[in-house]
């Protein structure tokens, strides 16, 4: 059965679509070491669910460095250069697309009235680098990215609006579904009144994501029930 309303899907990347074998964290550490001589800038907090620019802002503050837009951009640029080197180095056993993701994305593309995009704290170029490794980047025509806004709610809103525009529908007429692996994904979905499907492929269990308010949560998207929740809202 087709969707009742135009549907915008927004997939998180790290821990949701892919596991990168720590490439992102190593790249951020390298960027701070190169520019500030501090490889430990991010050691005192969890980066899970944070946007790239928010991570950099927090880490700069911790080490007592300026947090101007220019200072943040300089670290992001160094991070992207390191990421382009780190991603190809990760063993294929440690860098993988999570179960059911490719099939779910393909199934959504086959549905009329679906727009399939990204909702991620990664800046746009970082998202491309990570997803090209697993040959799925070209399946996402739009998104809300960490370079669109440091706040996750606002970048998810941006992605939802972009998807609605592609569908030629007002956002309020669309079903918006955020797929993520952290409580921050759940909170961002709630922040714009979207449905959230949690996946236990990161650091949080399905039960933990349901407790945070996810509408659905599954170990991954490989089950029939998970695909039904994604495509049909049940």
Q: Give the pLDDT of the chain (234 residues) as one tens digit per residue.
A: 444 699 999 999 999 999 999 999 999 999 999 999 999 999 999 998 899 999 999 999 999 999 999 999 999 999 999 999 999 999 999 999 999 999 999 999 999 999 999 999 999 999 999 999 999 999 999 999 999 999 999 999 999 999 999 999 999 999 999 999 999 999 999 999 999 999 999 999 999 999 999 999 999 999 999 999 999 985
Domain with 55 in it: 23-89
15/27 same-domain check: no
40/53 same-domain check: yes
102/187 same-domain check: yes
d(CA 18, CA 88): 14
Residue 188 belongs to some domain of the structure: yes
173 DSSP assignment: G
Beta bridge partners of residue 199, listed in sequence order: 218
Burial 115-132 (b: 16+ CB within 10 A, else e): bbbbbbbbbebbbbbbbe
76/148 same-domain check: no
75/102 same-domain check: no
Pairing, β 216-218 against β 96-97: unpaired
pLDDT in the model for residue 231: 95
- Summarize the chain as % helix, strand, coil (round to 5): 45, 15, 40
d(CA 58, CA 232): 39
C-alpha angle 142-146-150 in degrees, rounded to nearest 5: 135
Beta bridge partners of residue 179, listed in sequence order: 11, 197
Domain limit, last residue, from 40, 63, 89? 89
226/110 same-domain check: yes
CA 46 to each of CA 43, 55, 143, 195, 207: distance values in angstroms, whole numbers, following the listed order:
8, 9, 24, 25, 20
Does the predicted TM-score (pTM) go above 0.85? yes
72/11 same-domain check: no
Of 44, 41, 47, the C-alpha closest to 13 is: 47
Reading across the β-sheet that carries 216-218, which strands appear in turn?
143-144, 114-119, 7-11, 175-180, 195-199, 216-218
Element of type H or E holding 178? strand 175-180
């Amino acid at each position: 059965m087709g969707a009742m309303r135009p549907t915008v899907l927004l997939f998180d990347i790290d821990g949701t679509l892919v596991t990168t074998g720590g490439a992102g964290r190593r790249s951020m550490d390298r960027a701070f070491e190169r520019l500030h001589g501090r490889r430990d800038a991010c050691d005192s907090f969890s980066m899970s669910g944070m946007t790239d620019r928010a991570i950099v802002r927090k880490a700069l503050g911790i080490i007592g460095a300026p947090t101007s837009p220019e200072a943040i951009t300089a670290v992001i640029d160094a991070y992207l250069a390191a990421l382009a080197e780190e991603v190809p180095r990760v063993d294929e056993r440690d860098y993988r697309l999570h179960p059911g993701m490719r099939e779910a994305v393909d199934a959504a593309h086959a549905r009329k009235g679906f727009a399939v995009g990204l909702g991620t704290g990664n800046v746009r170029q970082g998202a491309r680098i990570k997803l090209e490794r697993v040959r799925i980047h070209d399946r996402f025509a739009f998104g809300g990215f960490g370079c669109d806004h440091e706040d996750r709610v606002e970048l998810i809103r941006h992605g939802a609006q972009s998807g609605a525009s592609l569908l030629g529908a007002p956002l309020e007429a669309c079903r918006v579904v955020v797929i993520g692996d952290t409580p921050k994904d759940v909170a961002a979905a709630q922040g714009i009144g979207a449905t959230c499907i949690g996946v236990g492929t990161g650091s949080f269990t399905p039960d933990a994501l349901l407790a945070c308010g996810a509408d659905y949560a599954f170990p991954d998207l490989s089950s029939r029930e998970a695909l039904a929740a994604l495509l049909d809202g049940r």
